Amino acid sequence: MALEFPKNFFWGAATSAHQVEGGNYNDWSEWEKANAERLAEEAHKKWQPWQQEKFPEMFEPENYISGRACDHYHRYEQDFDIAKSLGHNAHRFSIEWSRIEPEEGKFDEKEIEHYRQVILALTAQRVEPFITLWHWTNPLWIRDIGGWENKKTIEYFLRYVAYVIKLTGIGDTVKFWIPINEPSVYVGHGYVIGTFPPQVKSFARANKVLKNLIIAHRQAYKLIHKELGNEVAVGAVHNYHYHTPFRRWHPLDLLATKVFHYICDVRSSKWAKDCEDFIGLNYYYRDTVKFVFGGGRFGLIDIKNPNKEISDIGWDIYPEGVYRILKDLKKYGKPIYITENGLADSKDGKRAKFIKEHLCWIHKAIEEGVDVRGYFCWSLLDNFEWDKGFWPRFGLVEIDYKTLERKIRPSAWEYKKIIENQAEFTP
C-alpha cells in the first residue's frame, strides 16, 4: 500500500548556528579551544577500534575546534538553493545570540540584518522558516555571570527575544518559533554527566538550570504571542529516546525504565504543555535500560542496547521507536513536528533506509490519529557535532572541510523522491 502524507506537510532539514555557520565567538567556541587536546587524547579510550580506524581525525585536536565550520554564514544562499533542489519546503535553523548581543545590552544591527537576509532567502524560495532562538550556546558575558544558573539570564534572554521579534521586522515573516532547544540534553550533558560546558556534575545545579530554562521558555512563549499575536506558533523542542527495559520480566528493570523515562523525557514535556502550540520531537535512537547494583553509566541505571544495527557513533537504529513516542505524545493534543531525525553515516550506506523506515512508522502514527505535520532530517549539512567535532557525518550534503565543497549524497535524492512522489513511496 502506498503511503500518502497530509496535505501541506512540511518536508525539510535542520541545522544550528554554531554547528554550521563558522566564526562564532561564544562559550562553546572558547571551551573547544581549552579542551581540544584533551578530547583528542580521550578518543583513544572513548571509541571502538573500528571507529578509530575509520575516523583517525578524531585524534587530531583541530577536529574539536569549530572554526569556520561549513561557512554557512557566508554560503547560506548556496545551501538554500541545494535544499530547494532537494524538494524541501521548510527549514529549521537557529539564530546565534552571541552574534546579536556580543556584549551586554549592545545589539549588533549588522548581525540582525544578516539573519533578516537569511530569512528572506528562504521565503524567496518558498521555504518555510522554523527559527530556534537558543540552541545551547551563550554569549561570553552570559557565561561570566554563571550562565543559566543565574536567574538574571532569564531576563536577558527575554530581552534578546524581544529584540529579535519586535525591533527587527523578522516577526512579520516568520510563523514558527522555538525559544529553547532540548533543555534536558543541555542540562544532562552540561550539569549531570559533565561532558559539555560548563562540565558540572551536580543534580542541585542541574535542577536550577532546568528550572530557569523552563521559566525562560514559558515567558518567551507569552512574549512572542503578545508581540506577534495568535497567527504565529510557538513550540518546545524535546529530545526523546525510546526507553525499553532490558529484561521485560524484571521488576527492577521496569522500574528503572520508568524512572529514566521520567527524568529524560516526561519532565521536559510536562513543563511546556500549556505553553506550546506544537511539540517539536527530536528522535535518534532507543535506550534499553537495565538496573544494576552500582557501576552503571547512571549510578543504578545502565544502558544495554541490542545494537544490531548502529550508526557511525554507535547509536542504536530503531525506527519503531518514533512511532511509540508519537503515540505517547498524542495525549497532549498538540500538532507535532519531527524537528530532528538522522544518523551519522559517512559512507551514506544506511541513511536512505533510515529515513524511509522512520517515515513508515511516522505514517502509521498519523493513520492512527497522531497529528504530525512535518519532518526535518538532521542535518542538511555535515557539521560540527559538539564534543565529537567534525568526524560524525550527519549531512544530506557532504562537506569537504578543506575546500568547503558541497556534494549532495545519494540519500538526499532518495528523500526527494519521497517528498515529490509520495504515492510511490511504499514500505
Q: Report yes or no on 213 lying in a domain.
A: yes
Q: Report yes or no on 3 lying in a domain.
A: no
**Residues 6 or more apart whose Cβ sits within 8 Å of residue 291:** 250, 252, 253, 255, 256, 300, 301, 302
Calculate what percentage of the chain has a pLDDT beyond 90: 79
Residues in the chain: 427
Q: Give the model's confidence band at 2: pLDDT under 50 very low, under 70 low, under 90 confident, else very high.
A: confident
Rounded mean pLDDT, 381-387:
98
Rounded to whole angstroms, how far apart are CA atoms 323 and 222? 31
Residue 199: closest CA among 259, 143, 239, 153? 143
Q: Give the model's confidence band at 422: pLDDT under 50 very low, under 70 low, under 90 confident, else very high.
A: confident
Range of lowest pLDDT (184-198, 292-306, 400-414):
292-306
Long-range residue pairs from 102-109, CB within 8 A, at least 24 positions apart, any chain: 102/25, 102/139, 103/139, 103/141, 104/139, 104/141, 104/156, 107/163
Q: Give the model's confidence band at 269: pLDDT under 50 very low, under 70 low, under 90 confident, else very high.
A: low
**Residues 6 or more apart whose Cβ sits within 8 Å of residue 347:** none
Active-site residue among 32, 128, 182, 340?
340
Across the chain, mean pLDDT equals: 92
Rounded mean pLDDT, 213-238:
94
Q: Report yes or no on 5 lying in a domain.
A: no
Question: Into how many domains does the chain fold?
Answer: 1
Residue 323 pLDDT > 90: yes
Q: Report yes or no on 1 lying in a domain.
A: no
Specify the CATH number for the domain of residue 266: 3.20.20.80
Q: Report yes or no on 78 lying in a domain.
A: yes
Residue 420: closest CA among 66, 174, 86? 86
Q: Report yes or no on 231 lying in a domain.
A: yes
Residue 401: all three cell numbers together:
572541510
Range of the domain at 293: 10-424
**CA angle in degrees (0–180, nearest 5) for 49-53-54:** 115
Query: Residue 155 catalytic?
Result: no
For residues 22 and 72, is the Cβ–Cβ distance under 8 A?
yes
What is this structure's pTM?
0.95
Rounded to whole angstroms, how far apart are CA atoms 382 and 346? 9
Q: Report yes or no on 2 lying in a domain.
A: no
Q: How many CB atoms sit inside 10 A of residue 256's CB?
A: 23
Residue 257's pLDDT is 65
| pLDDT, tens digit, 9 for 90 and up, residues 356-372 | 999 999 999 999 999 99
Q: Give the model's confidence band at 189: pLDDT under 50 very low, under 70 low, under 90 confident, else very high.
A: very high
Strands (DSSP E) found in 278-422: 278-296, 299-303, 336-340, 372-378, 397-399, 406-408
Residue 194's pLDDT is 93
